[in-house]
Amino acid sequence: MHTVVVGTSGTTASDVLAVARGGARVELSGEAVAALAAAREIVDALAAKPDPVYGVSTGFGALATRHISPQLRAQLQRNIVRSHAAGMGPAVEREVVRALMFLRLKTVCSGHTGVRPEVAQTMADLLNAGITPVVHEYGSLGCSGDLAPLSHCALALMGEGDAEGPDGVVRPAAELLAAHGIQPVELREKEGLALLNGTDGMLGMLVMALADLDTLYRSADVTAALSLEALLGTDKVLAPELHAIRPHPGQAASAANMLAVLKGSGLTGHHQDDAPRVQDAYSVRCAPQVAGAGRDTMAHARLVADRELASAVDNPVVLPDGRVESNGNFHGAPVAYVLDFLAIAAADLGSIAERRTDRLLDKNRSHGLPPFLADDAGVDSGLMIAQYTQAALVSELKRLAVPASADSIPSSAMQEDHVSMGWSAARKLRTAVDNLTRVIAIEFYAAARAVELREGLTPAPATRAAIDAAREAGVEGAGPDRFLAPDLAAADAFVRGGRLLAAVEKVTGPLQ
């Protein structure tokens, strides 16, 4: 099994994906263990002094004015975890919790938190044992970190609360730790606070959304090319020289992908045949501009994610010169903004795909295709309601595009008076990505059927390969009306599993 080694200088998106989705094992580097021990010495020295230090010998948030005596500090750290583990709603996905735990471990190992090496090792032990704390949907405002989600993870380290075992069964965390020979941690000064003060949940979901969108945007180029073929459109608008004079890199990449997919098509260039038209509709002609803008949005989001992956987010932090200083680095604004930006781009990509699907089904705009791509229009409804489903998904995408980060609800008696709502932005982006996949799948389903109905015209080798692979995967083609939901589910699985992209890239080579 793949092993990810956690050092002091952050981590990478590929490591996050390996741990969250691939079940990779986690090890602490020798450098990390040394940094943990050095930072802990600083915290221990400060704890021994009479002067109050936030997070070490004081209360938290609006209660930071109280100096805590040494005999109550262990209780203070336990209490912050217990009281902050206040999430509600359904449990979030296992991959999200694993990303959350791994990214918190990444910051702990930076040597800026003051957590003991044995606590960090226990965090790694839980990940390696496949023990996943139950984290709830609601409880984070995305400021002072993803407090409630991280607290539920810290609670499991203490042997409290509930967790999911490697078999998927939820049990008391104490039972799971004992079954795997893991000793619960006894938290000391600062450790409770350090375990729950980070942007790890929203960052983990950003990393995974970017990975999913990378596949989806390339798949959307494929379905746009298929729709262009089915509508007998022109590929002249995809010429590199046209995109060079408006040098947005995402736009050029999208146009190049569509051009590669359409290479050798016998369906393009017929826009001057029976019903001459000067140019294709925006949803066809401007596909690279819209998908390209989304790609460039992803590039910016990836830059933010990489910066955050290299960060140590905690408050207070232990600095190399021995100071322990309060700061505001836990604020989730940088991550929250790009999460919302990606949801906007996803909504627009879904919207333009739906417009192409609608055009394929309308006999007045499809340039010779049967109404709703039906076998016997009137007796058969064809794909009429598939477009309804797609439209409902797009409407939901537009609702999910409303920014969460534009909101702020003050908390902690106005001490935390401006929050990022980054966790909420991440949760709705996950739903948006899920629904966008379905939208792209419906466009593929409709465009593939439409291409097959163009008798006497030969599609491009790449689109032919995609359609053939879909049929082999159980995505049915044209014919009389039948129970349609299973067909759409098969198309969704075909796109979601990356098989559409794989089939095309066997012909074109890797798309951008």
Q: What is the mean pLDDT of residues 270-285?
A: 75
Phi and psi for 91 in degrees, rounded to 5?
Answer: -70, 140
pLDDT above 90 for 71:
no
Dist. CA 129–CA 176, nearest whole Å: 9
Is 217 an active-site residue?
no
Residues 428 and 343 sit within 8 Å (Cβ to Cβ): yes
Model's pTM, two decimal places?
0.95
Residues 229 and 269 sit within 8 Å (Cβ to Cβ): no
Structure tokens at 156: 């499991």
Dist. CA 464–CA 330, nearest whole Å: 50
Dist. CA 20–CA 17, nearest whole Å: 5
Convert the pLDDT of each residue in 252-271 to its tens digit: 999 999 999 999 999 998 65
pLDDT above 60 for 205:
yes
Structure tokens at 230: 């089915």
Q: Angle 185-190-193 (CA atoms, 0-180°, nearest 5)? A: 85
Residue tagged active-site, from 54, 282, 337, 388:
54
146 residue type, one letter: D
Residue 70 burial (CB count, 10 A):
10
Residues 195 and 153 sit within 8 Å (Cβ to Cβ): yes
Residues 218 and 508 sit within 8 Å (Cβ to Cβ): no
- pLDDT score for 165: 98
Q: What is the mean pLDDT of residues 202-218?
A: 98
Count, residues in the chain:
512
- Region of poorest pLDDT, from 100-104, 323-327, 342-346, 404-408: 323-327
**Number of Cα atoms under 13 Å in the Cβ half of residue 211:** 16
Task: Indicate the helix (H) or strand (E) that contains 88.
Answer: strand 88-91
156 residue type, one letter: A
Structure tokens at 400: 């999910």
pLDDT above 70 for 503:
yes
Convert the pLDDT of each residue in 448-478 to its tens digit: 999 999 999 999 999 999 999 999 999 999 9
Q: What is the mean pLDDT of residues 270-291?
A: 82
Structure tokens at 472: 């082999």
Residues 223 and 110 sit within 8 Å (Cβ to Cβ): no
Residues 142 and 424 sit within 8 Å (Cβ to Cβ): yes
First to last CA, the chain: 29
Q: How confident is the model at residue 326 (pLDDT cuts 50, 70, 90)?
A: confident
Residue 16 per-residue DSSP state = H
Dist. CA 167–CA 246, nearest whole Å: 53
Residues 334 and 304 sit within 8 Å (Cβ to Cβ): yes
pLDDT above 90 for 286:
yes
Residues 120 and 105 sit within 8 Å (Cβ to Cβ): yes
Region of 422 (left: φ > 0; alpha: ψ -120 to 50; beta: rest) is alpha
Structure tokens at 439: 């939208």
Q: What is the mean pLDDT of residues 487-505?
A: 98
Residue 234's SS3 state is coil
- pLDDT score for 164: 98
Q: What is the mean pLDDT of residues 208-224?
A: 98
Residue 133 per-residue DSSP state = E
Dist. CA 271–CA 274, nearest whole Å: 8
pLDDT above 60 for 121:
yes
How much of the chain is in helix, strand and coil states, percent to nearest 5? 55, 5, 35
Kindly give the interhelix angle for 287-309 and 200-230, rounded to the nearest 10 degrees: 160
- pLDDT score for 273: 56
Per the prediction, the chain carries an average pLDDT of: 94
Residue 170's SS3 state is strand
Q: How confident is the model at residue 276 (pLDDT cuts 50, 70, 90)?
A: low
Residues 217 and 298 sit within 8 Å (Cβ to Cβ): yes
pLDDT above 80 for 416:
yes
- pLDDT score for 316: 86
- pLDDT score for 69: 81
Residue 332's SS3 state is coil
Dihedral, CA of residue 145, residue 148, residue 150 and residue 153, to nearest 10:
180
In whole angstroms, what separates CA 327 from the centre of its chain?
28
Residues paired with 163 in a beta bridge: 133, 171
The strand ranges marked E within 304-369 are 317-318, 324-325
In whole angstroms, what separates CA 113 from the centre of its chain?
27
Higher pLDDT, 138 or 279: 138
Of 112, 175, 108, 104, the residue nearest 135 (C-alpha) = 104
Of 392, 386, 384, the residue nearest 350 (C-alpha) = 392
